[in-house]
């Protein structure tokens, strides 16, 4: 939301946006913000805000603004549209108005947004030692939730004649009409929501260090699979905070060992972990207040870890049943592969459809010749390990059909 200076800020930003353009199009051209009936003797573009309207798409965004007790809960916000008439002046025998029109249309087509950088330029000009529109130094349009967009607003001949008729005894000038929206206006003088009085003041100051994850591995070995009870080593920088937690998927776990460059985590401390690729991040908590309550702090970049399920398998009644030591989400991609224990080659691949609930058990109908088959369960690309990890024949998990 922005204060009442937003309207003037959009006009000033449009003036800044077009100034360089018109100077390149016609040497010495200027951009004004006067009424369109002011006579002009030099080349330039005049920006005139001739009317405003509500933005119908945002009209009721902030209702209700008061609570049941009548107290103000949110400041009412007006979403407005600003309608501009751009007129082009200069020597007709040198086609200056038409050159300025072409340059302006091209500029507003390629840069149709009142960007925050453009607003910052308006504020910088307002706060210069020799300020221009000094009052715009207090605008906060750059903090608005949504950028203002400039779009053409074509008028037919009847609408155009009505518009120019409001300028008494003024000859028609080559012109274009644009609308700027949404311009979000908010009054700043509302009564604040009552709050309990402050009984004691306490100021806490600390340096902010964002943790960074550079690698994740199994503590038993970098090539060892990461399974439900693995000890995880998270490596990086700035990892130790006042209170440090590690999020793995939806679970938040406490590391068993903490240093600035390495955290150790026992995955077996949480029974709700899911198989497959899971996001991992480090979260710091700041201890604030006399009771040292943890509050929100910095979080690291997101890394990924592939949690491989360990399984048991059985076959009966034409159904293969696979049970995992990790939860499998209802909509995770699940595939069951049957291998030849002696060669390790895939004999059959079964795609398991989505399930209605999360579960650790998967069932699939099978029709295969009698014999022994090794079973591999893949969840979002994470395959269950077999025994032995290297070499043949595969001895587990194996089912007999």
Considering the entire predicted model, what is its pTM?
0.48
Tens-digit pLDDT profile for residues 123-132 = 888 888 788 8
Q: Left, alpha or beta for 236 (phi > 0: left; psi -120 to 50: alpha)?
A: left
Q: Does the pLDDT value for residue 214 go beyond 90?
A: yes
Q: Which two tokens stand for residue 389?
A: 């990890």
Distance from C-alpha of 56 to C-alpha of 65, rounded to nearest angstrom: 18
Average pLDDT, the chain: 86
> Residue 245: which residues within 8 A CB-CB, separation 6 or more?
252, 253, 254, 255, 282, 283, 285
Residue 177 pLDDT exceeds 60? yes
Question: Is the pLDDT at 37 greater than 90, yes or no?
Answer: no
Reported as a single tens digit per residue, the pLDDT across 332-364 is 899 999 999 999 899 999 898 888 888 999 998
Q: pLDDT confidence of 189, banded at 50, 70, 90? A: low
Kindly list the structural domains of the chain, giving each domain's residue range(s) and its CATH number in brackets, ordered by start.
6-186 (no CATH), 212-307 (2.60.40), 311-400 (2.60.40)
Task: Please indicate whether residue 95 or residue 69 has the higher confidence score (pLDDT).
Answer: 95
Lowest mean pLDDT among 62-71, 158-167, 271-280: 62-71
pLDDT tens-digit readout, 288-330: 766 666 777 788 999 988 999 999 999 988 889 999 999 998 8
Q: Residue 371 pLDDT more than 80?
A: yes
If one compares 73 and 141, the residue with the highest pLDDT of the two is: 141
What pLDDT is recorded for position 13?
92
Cα–Cα distance list, 284 to 199, 208, 251, 265, 300 (Å): 28, 10, 15, 15, 9
Residue 191 has pLDDT above 50, yes or no: no
Neighbour order of strands in the sheet with 212-218 = 212-218, 231-237, 262-266, 257-258
C-beta of residue 40 within 8 angstroms of C-beta of residue 46: yes
Indicate if the pLDDT at residue 190 is higher than 70. Answer: no
The pLDDT assigned to 73 comes to 65
| Torsion on CA atoms 379, 382, 388, 390, rounded to nearest 10 | 140
Cβ count near 39 (within 10 Å) = 7
Q: What are the backbone dihedrals phi and psi of residue 368, each rounded to the nearest 5 degrees, phi first?
A: -140, 155
- Is the pLDDT reported for residue 187 higher than 80? no
């Amino acid at each position: 939301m922005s204060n009442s200076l937003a309207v003037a800020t959009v006009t000033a930003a449009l003036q800044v946006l077009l100034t360089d353009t018109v100077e390149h199009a016609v040497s010495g051209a200027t951009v004004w913000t006067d009424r369109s009936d002011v006579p002009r003797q030099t080349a330039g573009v005049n920006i005139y805000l001739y009317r405003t309207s509500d933005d119908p798409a945002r009209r009721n965004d902030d209702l209700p603004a008061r609570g049941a007790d009548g107290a103000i809960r949110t400041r009412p916000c007006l979403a407005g549209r600003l309608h501009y008439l751009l007129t082009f002046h200069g020597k007709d025998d040198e086609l200056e108005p038409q050159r300025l029109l072409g340059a302006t249309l091209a500029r507003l087509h390629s840069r149709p947004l009142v960007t925050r950088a453009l607003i910052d330029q308006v504020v910088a000009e307002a706060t210069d030692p020799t300020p221009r529109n000094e009052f715009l130094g207090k605008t906060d349009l750059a903090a608005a939730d949504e950028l203002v967009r400039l779009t053409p607003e074509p008028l037919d001949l009847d609408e155009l004649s009505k518009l120019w008729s409001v300028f008494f005894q003024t000859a028609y000038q080559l012109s274009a009409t644009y609308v700027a929206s949404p311009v979000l206006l908010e009054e700043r003088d509302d009564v604040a929501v009552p709050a309990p009085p402050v009984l004691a003041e306490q100021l806490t100051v600390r340096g902010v260090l964002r943790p960074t994850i550079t690698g994740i591995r199994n503590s038993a070995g970098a090539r060892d699979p990461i399974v439900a009870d693995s000890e995880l080593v998270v490596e990086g920088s700035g990892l130790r905070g006042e209170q440090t937690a590690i999020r793995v998927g939806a679970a938040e776990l406490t590391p068993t060992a903490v240093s600035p460059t390495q955290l150790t985590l026992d995955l077996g401390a949480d029974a709700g972990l899911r198989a497959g690729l899971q996001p991992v991040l480090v979260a710091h908590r700041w201890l604030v207040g006399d009771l040292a309550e943890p509050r929100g702090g910095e979080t690291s970049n997101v890394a990924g870890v592939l949690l491989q399920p360990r399984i048991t398998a059985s076959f009966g009644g034409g159904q293969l049943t696979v049970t995992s030591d990790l939860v499998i989400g209802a909509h995770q991609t699940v595939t069951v592969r049957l291998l030849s224990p002696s060669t390790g080659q895939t004999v059959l691949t079964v795609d398991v459809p989505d399930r209605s609930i999360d579960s650790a058990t998967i069932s699939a109908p099978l029709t295969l010749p009698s014999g022994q088959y090794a079973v591999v369960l893949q969840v979002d690309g994470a395959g269950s390990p077999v025994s032995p990890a290297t070499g043949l024949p595969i001895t587990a998990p194996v089912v007999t059909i």
